C-alpha cells in the first residue's frame, strides 16, 4: 500500500508553569491534526527542547522531542500538568552555564541569543507550524520566532490570566475554583480560633487570582499587585469584618506580588532569577500576617488578634482540570487547527466577550494585562467594586 503523504508537520510545546488544562490542549491539537493528515511532534520542556537538541541524524534526541500518537495523548489528555514537561528556558537569553555542550565553542557570552540555532533546529525536524502553549513569557519568544518567519499559532496559558488580548487563559478556572474551595475549608480553622485568615495566592503582576475568589464571596478583603495598600487600613477593615462576623473571624487573600505602602520591592524567596529575570516570589503573606497581629490591638480595644497564614501555592495548580479547563483547551486546540488549515499563522487563539476568536500574536508583547484598579478595585475598602455587571465578560475583570 502506498504511504499517504502528510499535509505537514506540526510542533507543539508547553512552557512556563504547569497548570491543569495543558494535556487536554495537547490532546485536542494532536487528535484533530492526525485525523486531518498532519504529523505532530511534541517538543519536551518548552523552548528547552529546541535549545538542547542536536542536529545529527545519529544523535539520540528522544529527550528533546518525539512523535505524538493518539494513544499517547489519550492516556494523558484528561489529566493535569503537561506530559511534554516544561521549563522557563528563554532561548534568546541563555546564560553561558546553560549553553548546551555541543554549542559551547560557538556561544561564549555571559548571555547568548540561540535563536539562530532554534531556527535551524525547527528546520531540521521539519516543523511547518509551531503551536506554543504558555504565558506571556513563553509566548513573547513565540512573537520573536513569528517575526523570524516561523509559522506560529499560539495558545494562552497561565493561572494568573494575564496574557494580553484574551479574556481567558488555560488554568485560570481551576486555580480560582481551588482557591475558593480551600478558602472555605480553612474557614473552620479561622472560626474555631477566632483569628484572621491570611491566604497567599499566585499573581506576580496581576491580581485576578485574588480578585475573582473575593468577588465570589470567598474572602472579606484582597490585596493585589496593582495597588500599593496601607497595612494599617487592612488591619482596621479585617478587625471590623471579624467583629461583625458571629463566628469572629475574617479572611484576606494576598497576591504574591502585592506590596504595601512604604515597601518598594515585592517579597522574594531568594535573589536567584530565571532567564526572564523573575525572582521566585513568596513570603508576603507571612509578612502581612505578622504586621496584622502587631496592629490589631489598635482596632480591637487593645487586644491582640492572632492570625492563621497559609500559602496555597501549588495546591491550586496540581491535579486534574475542572470543567472549564477541560472545555476551553479543547476549543483552543481546534481553533489552532482551523487557522493552520486556512494557511494562517502569526495568531493567538483567544476567548473574547464570550466568543472564541483569534488575534495577532504581537498583541502578547504590545501591552500588559492588569486589573483596572479604577474600574474594579475599591482602594479604600480593599476589595472588588460590586457595581453593575450588565454586559460584563463571564469572568468580570
Q: Which of 18, 52, 137, 160 is catalytic?
A: 160
Nearest Cα neighbor of 356 from 375, 370, 337 is 337
Instruction: Establish whether 160 is a catalytic residue.
Output: yes
Q: Could you tell me if 125 and 253 lie in one domain?
A: no
Specify whether 125 is located in the same domain as 178: no
pLDDT at site 392: 84
Amino acid 389: pLDDT: 86
> Are 23 and 76 in contact, with CB atoms under 8 Å apart?
yes
Judge whether 1 lies within some domain: no
Q: What's the confidence (pLDDT) of residue 337?
A: 97
Pairwise CA distance, residues 299 & 65, whole Å: 59
The predicted structure's pLDDT at residue 1: 36
Instruction: Compute the half-sphere exposure of residue 107: CA atoms within 13 Å on the CB side of its CA.
Output: 22
From first to last of its 397 residues, what are the pLDDT tens digits of the chain? 344 578 999 999 999 999 999 999 999 999 999 999 999 999 999 999 999 999 998 999 999 999 999 999 998 888 999 999 999 999 999 999 999 999 999 999 999 999 999 999 999 999 999 999 999 999 999 999 999 999 999 999 999 999 999 999 999 999 999 999 999 999 999 999 999 999 999 998 999 999 999 999 999 999 999 999 999 999 999 999 999 999 999 999 999 999 988 776 756 566 666 676 656 566 899 999 999 999 999 999 999 999 999 999 999 999 999 999 999 999 999 999 999 999 999 999 999 988 999 999 999 999 999 999 999 999 999 999 988 888 888 877 7
**CB neighbour list of residue 295: distance below 8 Å, 6 or more residues apart:** 231, 232, 235
Residues 306 and 182 in one domain: yes
Expressed as residue numbers, the domain containing 104 is 8-170+321-366
Name beta bridge partners: 40.
10
Same domain, 156 and 241: no
Same domain, 190 and 306: yes
For residues 67 and 129, state if they share a domain: yes
Q: CA 168, 171, 177, 178: dihedral to nearest 10 degrees?
A: -160
SS3 302: coil
Predicted TM-score (pTM) of the model is 0.93
* Same domain as 246, residue 115: no
CA–CA dist 92, 346 (Å, integer): 19
Domain membership of residue 76 (yes or no) is: yes
> How far does Cα 128 stand from its chain's mean position?
27
Whether residue 148 lies inside any domain: the answer is: yes
- What distance in Å separates the CA atoms of residue 227 and residue 260, rounded to the nearest whole number? 8
The count of structural domains within the chain is: 2
Residue 234 domain-assigned (yes or no): yes
Q: Please give the Cα distance from 112 to 382 (Å, whole number).
A: 44
Q: Establish if 2 belongs to a structural domain.
A: no
**Both 38 and 166 in a single domain?**
yes
Residue 181 located in a structural domain: yes
Cα 278 versus chain centre, distance: 14
Element (H, E) at 14: strand 8-14
Residues 104 and 178 in one domain: no
Percent of the chain as helix, strand, coil, to the nearest 5: 35, 20, 45
Asked if residue 24 lies in contact with residue 85, where contact means CB atoms within 8 angstroms, the answer is: no
Chain centre distance of CA 87: 13
Q: Is residue 350 part of a domain?
A: yes
| CATH label of the domain that carries residue 335 | 3.40.50.450
Contact 278, 266 (CB under 8 A): no
Which residue matches cell numbers 475573582? 212
Q: What is the CATH number of the domain that holds 233?
A: 3.40.50.460
Predicted local distance difference test score (pLDDT) of residue 266: 58
The reported pLDDT for the residue numbered 11 is: 98
| Strand partners of residue 221 | 252
Q: Which is it for the CA torsion 292, 298, 300, 304, positive or negative?
A: positive
Provide the pLDDT for residue 78.
84
Answer whether residue 264 is part of any domain: yes
133 and 35 share a domain? yes
C-alpha 305/C-alpha 320 separation (Å) is 37
Supply the pLDDT for residue 2: 42
- Co-location of 339 and 309 in the same domain: no
Amino acid at each position: 500500500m502506498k504511504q499517504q503523504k502528510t499535509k505537514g508537520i506540526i510542533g507543539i510545546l508547553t512552557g512556563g508553569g504547569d497548570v491543569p488544562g495543558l494535556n487536554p490542549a495537547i490532546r485536542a491539537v494532536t487528535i484533530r491534526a492526525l485525523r486531518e493528515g498532519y504529523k505532530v511532534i511534541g517538543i519536551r520542556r518548552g523552548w528547552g527542547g529546541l535549545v538542547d537538541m542536536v542536529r545529527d541524524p545519529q544523535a539520540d534526541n528522544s529527550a528533546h522531542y518525539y512523535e505524538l500518537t493518539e494513544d499517547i495523548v489519550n492516556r494523558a489528555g484528561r489529566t493535569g500538568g503537561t506530559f511534554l514537561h516544561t521549563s522557563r528556558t528563554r532561548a534568546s537569553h541563555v546564560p553561558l552555564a546553560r549553553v548546551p555542550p555541543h554549542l559551547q565553542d560557538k556561544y561564549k557570552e555571559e548571555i547568548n541569543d540561540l535563536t539562530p540555532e532554534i531556527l535551524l533546529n525547527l528546520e531540521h525536524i521539519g516543523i511547518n507550524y509551531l503551536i506554543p502553549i504558555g504565558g506571556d513569557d513563553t509566548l513573547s519568544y513565540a512573537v520573536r520566532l513569528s517575526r523570524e518567519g516561523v509559522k506560529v499559532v499560539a495558545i494562552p496559558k497561565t493561572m494568573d490570566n494575564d496574557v494580553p488580548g484574551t479574556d481567558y487563559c488555560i488554568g485560570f478556572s481551576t486555580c480560582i475554583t481551588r482557591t475558593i474551595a480551600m478558602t472555605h475549608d480553612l474557614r473552620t480553622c479561622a472560626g474555631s480560633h477566632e483569628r484572621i485568615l491570611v491566604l497567599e495566592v499566585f499573581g506576580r503582576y496581576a491580581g485576578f487570582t485574588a480578585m475573582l475568589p473575593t468577588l465570589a464571596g470567598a474572602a472579606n478583603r484582597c490585596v493585589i499587585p496593582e495597588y500599593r495598600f496601607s497595612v494599617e487600613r487592612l488591619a482596621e477593615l479585617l478587625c471590623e469584618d471579624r467583629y461583625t462576623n458571629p463566628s469572629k473571624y475574617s479572611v484576606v487573600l494576598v497576591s504574591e506580588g502585592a506590596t504595601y505602602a512604604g515597601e518598594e520591592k515585592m517579597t522574594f524567596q531568594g535573589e536567584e532569577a530565571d532567564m526572564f529575570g523573575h525572582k521566585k516570589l513568596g513570603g508576603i503573606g507571612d509578612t502581612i500576617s505578622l504586621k496584622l497581629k502587631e496592629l490589631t490591638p489598635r482596632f480591637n480595644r487593645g487586644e491582640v488578634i492572632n492570625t492563621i497564614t497559609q500559602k496555597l501555592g501549588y495546591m491550586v495548580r496540581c491535579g486534574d482540570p475542572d470543567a472549564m479547563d477541560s472545555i476551553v483547551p479543547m476549543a483552543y486546540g481546534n481553533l489552532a487547527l482551523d487557522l493552520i488549515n486556512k494557511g494562517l499563522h502569526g495568531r493567538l487563539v483567544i476567548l473574547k466577550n464570550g466568543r472564541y476568536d483569534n488575534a495577532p500574536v504581537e498583541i502578547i508583547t504590545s501591552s500588559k494585562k492588569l486589573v483596572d484598579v479604577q474600574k474594579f478595585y475599591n482602594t479604600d475598602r480593599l476589595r472588588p467594586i460590586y457595581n453593575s455587571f450588565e454586559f460584563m465578560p463571564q469572568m468580570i475583570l
